[in-house]
Structure 1
Amino acid sequence: MTGLSAQGITIKRLDEIKSELDSSLQLVFGTELSLDPSSPEAQLNGIIAEQISQLYELAQAVYVGMNPNFSTGNMLDLVSQIRGVDRNEETATVADVTFTGLAGITIVAGSKFTATGLDGITFSLQNDTVIDALGFGYGRVSCNTLGKVIVPALTITGIISPTYGLESVSNPLTGITGNEQETDEIFRIRSNASVALPGTALLDSVYASIANVDEVEQLVVLENDTSTIDVNGVSPKSMLAVVQGGTDEDIAEAIFLKKSLGCGMDGAITVSISDINGLPHDIRFSRPVNIPIFISVEVKELAEWDAAVIENIKQLLYDFATTSQSVAGTTYNGYQMGDDVYASQLYASLLNENTYAINSLFVGIAAIPAGSSVPISFSELATFDIINISVVSVA
C-alpha cells in the first residue's frame, strides 16, 4: 500500500503511476484505445504522471525531513528547535585598533576601515572612541563580512569614513577570527546529544547539557569510574570535560546542573557555582590545547602556472583544514578536537588543480615540517594559520 501508514511512507514511482493512468483510460474507453507513446492520450498521461510523481517525492522529502538523522538545512533547524537547540550562526571577526590624531576628537561608532590584502572587505567601529590628550584612541572594529576572515596584525590601516583630525588607524594584534555557520553534520551531532538532557546517565547528561550552551562548538566528556588514574589522565571516580566555545560561567552552570553528587572533577579552569542554598561549589573543566600546525608544500609548475597560484594553494589548504568542504564526493568538516593531522588528507584539497603537480607535502609542529602526520590527543585541537603554510614551486 502506498502513502503514509503506521510502517512509514511508501511512494509510487513514475512508471507505476503512468501504468495506472493508462489502465484507467482503457477501463473507461476500452482496450482498443491506442496508448502508443506518440499518441495524445499517452502524452497527456505522461505529463500527469510526472506531476503526481513529484507530489509523492515531496511527501517523502517532508516525511524524511522530520527525522533529525536525515534532515538538512532549514528542516534540520526546525526539527532541532523542537528540542530547544539552535544552529550556531556565523560570527564576525573582531580586532582591537589604535587611532592617532588630534586630542579630543571623536571617531563615531560605525566608521568604516579597510585592511591590506582584504579586497572588498570593510570593518566598522563598534563604539564611539575619543582621542586622548596624548593623541591616541583605542577601540574595536568588527568585520562587515561574517565568517572566517583572517586579519593579520598591522593590516587595518585604511580609513573609509573621513573624520576631521584622525591621522591613522592600525591593529597591533591579529584579529579574533569569526566562525562559519555550523554545518549540518556538526549541528546534527549536537542536536541529537541534546535529547539526553533529561537522562540520568552521567556522561550523556553532562555532554548534552554542555552541548546546549550558546556558542559551544565542540566538546569531549570523559568519565573514570575506576579507583586509579586512567589512560587519559582522569582522576579516580571523576570526570573531565574539554570544551571549545561558550563562556566559562555558562559551561560551569551546565555541568553543575547535571553532575552527580560525589563525582570528582578534573580540569584547568575552576568556576564557583552557588546552589539553591547559596553554598558555593567548585566546577572544573578544561579548554582544548591549541596545537599550531605547519605545512610545507613543494609543487611542480605546469603549463598554466602563474605566481598567484601559490597564494591559492595556501588558501585551499587553510579552507580544507578549517571549514566544511566537499572533496571528490566526501564531506570534510575541518579538524576537530582529537583529530590527528595527516598529510595524505591535505592532498585531497589540491587534487583538482591543473596548474601544478604536487612533489611533496609535509606537516609538523615545527616551522620546517618534515613529517607525514601529527598526533593530536583528545584534549588538543589542531589549529591552522595561512602564515604557517609554506609553498615552494619548481619549474
Structure 2
Amino acid sequence: MASPTAPTIDASGISAPSYAEVLNYLQQQYRSIYGADTYLGNDSQDGQFVSLIALAISDANAAFIAAYNSFSPNTAQGNGLSSNVKINGIRRGVSTSSQVDLDVVGQAGTVITGGIARDVNGKNWLLPETVTIPPAGVITVTATCATTGEVSASVGQVSIIATPTRGWQSVTNASTAEPGAPVETDSALRQRQKFSVALPSRTVLEGTTGAVESLTGVTRVATYENDTKITDANGIPENSISLVVEGGDVADIAQAIANKKTPGTGTYGTTAQQVIDIYGRPVTIRLFRPTYQAMTVAIALKALAGYSSVVGTAVQQAVSDYINSVLIGGGLSGSVEWADAITAANSVPNSGTFKLTSLVISGPGGSGSPDVVLAFNQAATCTPASVVLTVT
C-alpha cells in the first residue's frame, strides 16, 4: 500500500497529499508512539519538530510532481520545456532584433557583401552576408537591425545605403518592420510545439503550415488554398496556395514552403523569394506579409458604484488585447467582431462597477457595421490609447 505521505501516480496523473494532510498524519503517528495526550501545538518543541518534518516531505512531494510534469510539453517549465520540444525539432526562441524585408535594387550580377541599410532615424539594418542581384534587377531580403530590442520602421523609412557598393542602386522597405522579441515564453513555446506536430501531418497543406509556424520569429500564419480551376475571391490563382506570414526571415519561410509544397502547386503573394531546389535550379516562392489595419474603438460607459479610472484603463487594455489577438484575415468570421470586443470589455475585474452602453469599432475604411471586415492578408492592430472611453 502506498504511503499516505508520498505522491501517487495513476491513470489521471500524479498527485500528492497537502502539507496539512501530511502534518495531520505525522501528528497521529507521533501520538501513537508517545501517547494520545501528547501536546503538539505550534508553541511546543515537539509540535515544531513534527511541522519541520511535514514541510520537508511536502517540499519533496512538490519536487517529485515538478519532475513528473517536466516530461510533458503541456506542463513542463523553463529548461524542462526547452528539452522536451527538441523532440519535435524546434528550440526555444532567443531574444531577437527587429527585422524588415528590404527590396534591394541594382545591376544584375552585383554582389553586395556585408551590406548595411540605414533608416531615417539613423538605425542600421544588416543585410545577409552576401546578396547577389538577380537578372530581374531587384531582390527581397530580410535585414536585421544592428540595435537589439524593439526598433520600429514604417514603410519606406529604411531607404539609405549605408555601405555604398558599385551596382547597388537603391533600397527600401515595402512593409513595416517586425519588432524584436524577448526570450520566448513558456506559453508561446508550447503553442509553437503544438503547431510543429503538424509537420508529419496527413495533408501537405498542414505540413507546410506547420513547417512555417515552427520557424524562429514567426508569430502568426494564415494559409489559403485554391484547388479550383479559376481564380478565387481572394485573387489566388488556380491550383495555388498563399501564405500570409508575420515575422521570421523571408528566406527561411520561402525555403520551408518550397520543401513542403507538392510539385506543380503555385504560390501567390506580393513578396517573392528565390530558393534553389535539390537539383540546383532556382525556384521563386511568393508569399504575403500582413498588411496592418489600425483600429480605433469608441466606448460609452455608465459609471456605477465603485467605478474608477483604474477600471477604465483595464477596459481599454482588454479591448486592445482582443483586437491584437484576432487572426490574420479575421479567422473564420473574416472580421474583428463587435460581440467579442464587448465580451472583452465586460471581462475585466470589477466589471460590475460600470454598464457598457455602446461600442463602435472603426478601421481605415470607417466604422464597422458592427464588425470590421479584414481582407485575407490583413491583420488588425490597436493600442490602449486608441480605445476612447466616454464615461457618464
Structure 2: tracts of 5 or more residues without a match: 101-120, 126-143, 155-175
Report the AA paired with residue 46 of structure 1. S
d(CA) in 2 for partners of 1:345, 1:49 = 45
The aligned residue for residue 342 of structure 2 is: 344
Structure 2 counterpart of 1:84: 90
TM-aligned CA deviation for residue 42 of structure 1: 4.6
- Is 2:367 the partner of 1:369? yes
Q: Which amino acid aligns with 1:336?
A: L
SS in 1 for 2:262: coil
Equivalent in the alignment of 2:64: 59
Please list, as runs of the form range in 1=range in 2, the aligned pairs for 1:20-169 lying within 5 A after superposition. Answer: 20-22=25-27, 24-25=29-30, 29=33, 32-38=35-41, 40-72=45-77, 75-81=80-86, 83-87=89-93, 89=95, 91=97, 146-147=149-150
Q: What is the 5 A alignment of 1:1-395?
A: 1=2, 2-3=6-7, 9-22=14-27, 24-25=29-30, 29=33, 32-38=35-41, 40-72=45-77, 75-81=80-86, 83-87=89-93, 89=95, 91=97, 146-147=149-150, 176=177, 178-181=179-182, 182-198=184-200, 201-224=203-226, 237-298=239-300, 317=316, 321=320, 334-339=325-330, 340-341=335-336, 342=338, 343-345=341-343, 347-348=345-346, 352=350, 360-366=358-364, 369=367, 371-376=369-374, 378-384=376-382, 389=386, 391=388, 393=390
Structure 2 distance, partners of 1:264, 1:288, is 20
Q: 1:338 to 1:76 in 2, by over 3 A?
A: farther
- Pairwise CA RMSD: 4.8
TM-score, L = length of structure 1: 0.61
The SS at the match of 2:328 is coil
Q: Distance in 2 between matches of 1:11 and 1:364?
A: 52
Tell me the distance in 2 between the aligned counterparts of 1:282 and 1:179.
27
> Tell me, which stretches of 5 or more residues in structure 1 are unaligned?
95-122, 128-139, 152-174, 324-331
C-alpha displacement at 1:280, in angstroms?
Answer: 2.0
Instruction: Give the 3-state SS of the residue equivalent to 2:208 in structure 1.
Output: helix
Shift of 1:215: 1.6
Which residue in the other structure is 1:131 paired with?
none
Q: Once the 2 structures are TM-superposed, how far is the Cα of residue 49 of structure 1 from its aligned partner?
A: 1.4
CA contact (8 A) 2:318 2:344 kept: no
Give the conservation status (yes or no) of the 8 Å contact 1:299–1:391: no
Change beyond 3 A, Cα 1:180–1:276: closer
SS of 1:193 mapped into structure 2: helix
Q: Judging changes above 3 Å, is the alpha-carbon distance between structure 1 residues 42 and 313 closer, same or farther for their aligned structure 2 residues?
A: closer
- TM-score, length-scaled by structure 2: 0.62
3-state SS of 1:214 partner: coil
1:274-305 CA-partner distances (Å, limit 9, x unpaired) = 21322122323222232221222345689999
Aligned pair in 2 of structure 1 residues 51, 269: CA closer, same or farther (>3 Å)? same
